[in-house]
């Protein structure tokens, strides 16, 4: 459970979000809500409120040190991608669904959970995609009770549904290797079923961040004792991303009004890891916070079994904040590409275009 500093900080953030929402109520019809699904890359703090183990939580210092000045539960020194997308869309910060308090669901909700996968078996104890979908249905039911069926259907059809899911399902490459095609099909199948269900409820606009170059994650490089990106894990991610693209194209042909965006997170992050100076970073392979080679031991904050850790003095110089999560500076760059990147980076629509489809 979160400590008192987190609770006070969360209350301040909740009040700020509510006050901004209150000032926006008069023109809420002009906004498309943002509903967020996914893993630790998008989690805004849902894991603070579940018993998932400290390894899947980030509600302690130095997480949150740069922007919020307190740990919010985000796996970052500051903001994650959906925070920037909300800002660009002129929405308030989208709070975690499980955060206590008065939620303005007309602006959306964040269901993401650190460690979550598309498969139920991935990291038990976290909020997997199926459970996130059930939480979305609770929001849908709440909106229909408050606003009526007709207005809720309009809100859900205007909304953008943002996903970062699948990466955690591929962490055990050696086990998957003998039947990788069947395994990838299961992961994509679960994602497809969730999209069809959201579409049935009224959703029409879906944004995806594809799976990261898993071989370039500091934790993977440390595990394989490599000084650079490891080929096989990244290749598995590429196969998933090809399958995801194919599945979304099929859904576009099958489902009425279905529009989608895929941000090539895999390539964008590979570029920053391998050529950090090109993007304004000093370090692309070693994390800001952690211990061991590449600071890739999951020790940031000293509460996950290893108490000793190193924390860099300037997070903006690093692509990676910890063993598997990017810094706020990297997140801002990546969010800008997701929001307004050209078709070869974010396509067939970028997220800005989806928000403009009111």
Active centre residues (catalytic):
40, 322, 325
Q: Between β-strands 259-263 and 289-290, what pairing exists: parallel, antiparallel or unpaired?
A: unpaired
d(CA 120, CA 115): 11
- Backbone phi, psi, residue 270, to 5°: -60, -45
- Residues contacting 226, CB < 8 A, separation 6+: 220
Contact 223, 181 (CB under 8 A): no
- Backbone phi, psi, residue 271, to 5°: -60, -45
Contact 273, 216 (CB under 8 A): yes
d(CA 263, CA 349): 9
Nearest by Cα to 41 from 214, 199, 233, 251: 214
69 torsion bin: left (phi>0), alpha (psi -120 to 50), beta (else): left
Question: How big, in percent rounded to 5, are the helix, strand and coil portions of the chain?
Answer: 50, 10, 40
- Backbone phi, psi, residue 142, to 5°: -60, -45
d(CA 72, CA 20): 19
d(CA 352, CA 205): 11
């Amino acid at each position: 459970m979160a400590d008192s500093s987190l609770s006070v900080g969360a209350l301040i953030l909740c009040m700020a979000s509510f006050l901004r929402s209150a000032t926006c109520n008069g023109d809420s019809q002009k906004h498309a809500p943002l509903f967020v699904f996914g893993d630790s890359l998008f989690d805004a703090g849902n894991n603070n409120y579940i018993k998932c183990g400290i390894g899947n939580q980030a509600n302690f210092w130095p997480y949150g040190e740069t922007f919020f000045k307190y740990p919010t539960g985000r796996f970052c020194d500051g903001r994650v991608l959906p925070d920037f997308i909300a800002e660009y869309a002129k929405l308030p910060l989208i709070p975690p669904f499980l955060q206590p308090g008065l939620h303005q669901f007309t602006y959306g909700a964040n269901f993401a959970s650190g460690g979550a996968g598309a498969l139920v078996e991935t990291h038990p104890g976290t909020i997997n995609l199926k459970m996130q979908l059930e939480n979305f249905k609770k929001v849908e039911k709440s909106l229909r009770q408050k606003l009526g069926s007709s207005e809720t259907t309009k809100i859900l059809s205007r909304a953008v549904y943002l996903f970062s899911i699948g990466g955690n399902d591929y962490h055990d490459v050696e086990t998957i290797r003998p039947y990788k095609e069947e395994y990838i099909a299961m992961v994509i199948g679960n994602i497809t079923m969730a999209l069809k269900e959201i579409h049935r409820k009224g959703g029409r606009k879906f944004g995806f961040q594809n799976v990261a170059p898993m071989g370039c994650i500091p934790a993977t490089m440390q595990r394989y004792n490599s000084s650079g990106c490891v080929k096989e894990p990244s290749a598995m991610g590429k196969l998933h991303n090809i399958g995801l693209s194919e599945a979304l194209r099929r859904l576009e042909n099958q489902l009425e009004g279905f529009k989608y965006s895929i941000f090539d997170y895999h390539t964008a992050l590979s570029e920053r890891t391998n050529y950090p100076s090109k993007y304004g970073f000093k370090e692309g392979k070693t994390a800001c916070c952690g211990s061991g080679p590449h600071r890739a031991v999951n020790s940031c904050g000293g509460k996950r079994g290893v108490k000793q850790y190193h924390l860099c003095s300037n997070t903006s110089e690093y692509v990676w904040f910890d063993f598997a999560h990017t810094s706020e500076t990297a997140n801002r760059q990546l969010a800008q590409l997701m929001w307004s990147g050209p078709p070869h980076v974010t396509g067939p629509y970028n997220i800005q275009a989806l928000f403009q489809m009111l």
